[in-house]
Amino acid sequence: MKHKSIILTGGGTAGHVSLNQAIIPSLRKEGYDVHYIGSYDGIEKELITQSFPDVPYHHISSGKLRRYFSMKNFSDPFKVLAGVGQAYAVIRKVKPTMIFSKGGFVSVPVVIAAKLAKIPVVIHESDVTPGLANKIALPFASHIFTIFQDTLNYLPSEKATCTGSIVREELFSGNALKGKKRCGFTDHKKVLLVMGGSLGSVVLNDSLRSNLPDLLKTYNVIHLCGKGNSDSSLDSLKGYKQFEYVTNELPDLLHAADFVVSRAGSNSIFEFLALKKPMLLVPLSAAKSRGDQILNAKLFEKQGFAHVLEEEMLSKSTFMKAIETLTKRSPEYLDAMEKAERPKTPAEMVKLLLQYEK
Ligand SMILES: CC(=O)N[C@H]1[C@@H](OP(=O)(O)OP(=O)(O)OC[C@H]2O[C@@H](n3ccc(=O)[nH]c3=O)[C@H](O)[C@@H]2O)O[C@H](CO)[C@@H](O)[C@@H]1O
C-alpha cells in the first residue's frame, strides 16, 4: 500500500523548527511519509537531518524579508521566486495531502507553491503577534494555529484556532542526576540554567559572566551560550558548565535545573512552564525585534509564571537582583505553574492538523 505523504517546512531559528521535530514521530505513527523543505544552510537543516536522517530534506532558496532598507532587498525577491519554483517541483513529486508550515522566511516560497499546486497549507504562529513570514503566508493558508489566545485578536476568526502549546515528548524524560554528572557538579548547590534562545544572547552571556564569581558561591550554573560564544578561559571554573548548543543532552540539563534565566522565545518559555521551572525572562528588546518576546514575557508575568527584566534595564547589578527576586518568588511561580493548562501532546496536535488534509 502506498503511504500518504506530508511536507513540513519552517526554519531560520530553532523556534521555527521545534514543533516540526515534535510532530514527526506522531505523523509517522499515523502512517505518513514525512518530507521537509528547508534552506541550504539554516539551522533547520542540521536539526532535521541529524534527528531524522531518514526524512528526505529538500533544499530551496529563499530571501530574507526585511522591514528595513538593504541592497539585498532588490535581489532577494528573485531568490524567493526561485524558491517557489523549487518548492513547486518538490510538491509535484511528493504529492502530499497537506503542508504544514512553522514559519520563518524559508516557509514563504513553500506556502505560495502549495497554493499554486492546490495543496492545503496549515501555518502555525508561536508568538503573541504574527511574524512577517506568517503575515505573508496567511492569505495562501487554509488555517492558522496559535499558541496564545491573545494572538486570535490579530487574525481572521474563521481561519484561526488557538491550540495552546505543544512540547517535544523527549523533554519530559530527562534525568537530573545524569544532567548534573554531565556538568561535573558534585555538591548540592541549586542549579541555575541560563539560555539565550537558540542562537544565544550576547547581553545575557555578558551579564552572567560578569557575575560568575558571586553566583558560583550559591549556585551551579549551566550556560547555553549559543554558537561561537563559548569562552575557553572559563572552562576550569568549578560549578560552571557552558555549551554552545545542545540537542540530546537538553532533557537531562533541564531536569537538573532549579531555576532558569532566558530570552522569551515562545517555544523555550512553554517548555520551562511544562517542566515547572521558575524563570527570569529577559525578552529581546523592541529595538532589535518586532517586540514579540516582550509580549510573550508580559503574558507569562501576568499569569504568575515568571519574573521579567527588560533588556534596557539589564546591568551587572540588576541581573543579580533579578535572580534574588526569582529565587525568593519561586514558590509562587511553582504554585501558578501547577494550575496552568497542560501542553497538548504531539499526537493531539497531529489529529487537529490532519482535519485539513486533501
Ligand atoms: C532572535 C529571534 O528571532 N528569536 C525568535 C525565535 O527564537 P528562538 O529560535 O530562540 O526560539 P524559541 O525560544 O521559541 O525556541 C528555541 C528552541 O531551541 C531549543 N534549544 C535551545 C538551545 C539549545 O542549546 N538547544 C535547544 O534545543 C529550545 O529547547 C527551544 O525549543 O523564535 C521564537 C518563536 O517564534 C521567537 O519568539 C523569537 O523572538
Residue with cell 503574558: 299
In a shared domain, residues 327 and 351: no
Note whether 239 and 321 are same-domain residues.
Answer: yes
Interatomic CA distance for residues 12 and 40, integer angstroms = 11
How many C-beta neighbours within 10 Å does residue 321 have?
A: 11
Q: Which three cell numbers stand for residue 142?
A: 487554509
Q: Are residues 218 and 347 in the same domain?
A: no
Instruction: Name the average pLDDT for the chain.
Output: 95
User: Ligand 1 pocket, 246 CB below 6 A?
Assistant: yes
pLDDT over 90 for what percent of the chain? Answer: 93
Same-domain status, 11 and 61 = yes
Pair (286, 201) in one structural domain: yes
Cα-to-centroid distance, 294 and ligand 1 (Å): 14
Tell me the three state secondary structure of residue 232: helix
Neighbouring C-beta atoms of residue 264, cutoff 10 Å: 25
The answer to whether residues 71 and 162 belong to one domain is yes
Q: pLDDT, tens digit, for every residue of 295-308? A: 999 999 999 999 99
Tens digits of residue pLDDT in 185-240: 999 999 999 999 999 999 999 999 999 999 999 999 999 999 999 999 999 999 99
**Rg of the chain's alpha carbons, rounded to an integer?**
21
Cα(131)–Cα(91) distance, integer angstroms: 24
What's the CA gap between 46 and 42, in Å, rounded? Answer: 8
Q: Domain holding 275: CATH number?
A: 3.40.50.2000
**Which range of residues forms the domain containing residue 282?**
170-338
| CA distance linking residue 246 with residue 249, whole number of Å | 6
Domain match, 306 and 352 both: no
Give the single-character DSSP code of 142: S
H or E element: which one contains 321?
helix 316-338
Beta-carbon neighbour count of residue 46 at 10 Å? 15
List Cα–Cα distances, 77 to 61, 66, 82, 109, 338, in angstroms. Answer: 11, 11, 9, 10, 47
Do 139 and 211 lie in one domain? The reply is: no
Both 227 and 291 in one domain: the answer is yes
Listed range (15-29, 64-78, 134-148, 254-268) with the worst mean pLDDT: 64-78
Q: Annotated binding residues for UDP-N-acetyl-alpha-D-glucosamine, as ranges?
A: 13-15, 168, 198, 293
Measured from the Cα of 12, ligand 1's closest atom is 9
> Tens digit of pLDDT for each residue in 49-92?
999 999 999 999 987 765 566 656 666 788 889 999 999 999 99
Confidence at residue 64, expressed as pLDDT on a 0 to 100 scale: 72
48 and 107 belong to one structural domain: yes
CA 256 / ligand 1 centre spacing (Å): 20
Q: 319 to each of 157, 194, 281, 289, 345, how far by Cα in Å?
A: 41, 12, 11, 21, 35
Q: Are residues 241 and 195 in the same domain?
A: yes
Instruction: Specify whether 115 is located in the same domain as 237.
Output: no
Q: What is the number of domains present in the chain?
A: 2
Answer yes or no: is the C-beta of 195 below 6 A from any ligand 1 atom: yes
Amino acid at 90: V
Cell 511553582 sits at which residue? 334
Q: Are 319 and 207 in contact (CB under 8 A)?
A: yes
Q: Band of the pLDDT at 3, cuts 50, 70, 90? A: confident
Q: How far apart are CA 108 and CA 115, in angstroms?
A: 11
Given a contact cutoff of 8 angstroms between Cβ atoms, the answer to whether 296 and 284 are in contact is no
Q: Supply the pLDDT for residue 62.
A: 86
Q: How far is the CA of 270 from the centre of ligand 1 (A)?
A: 11
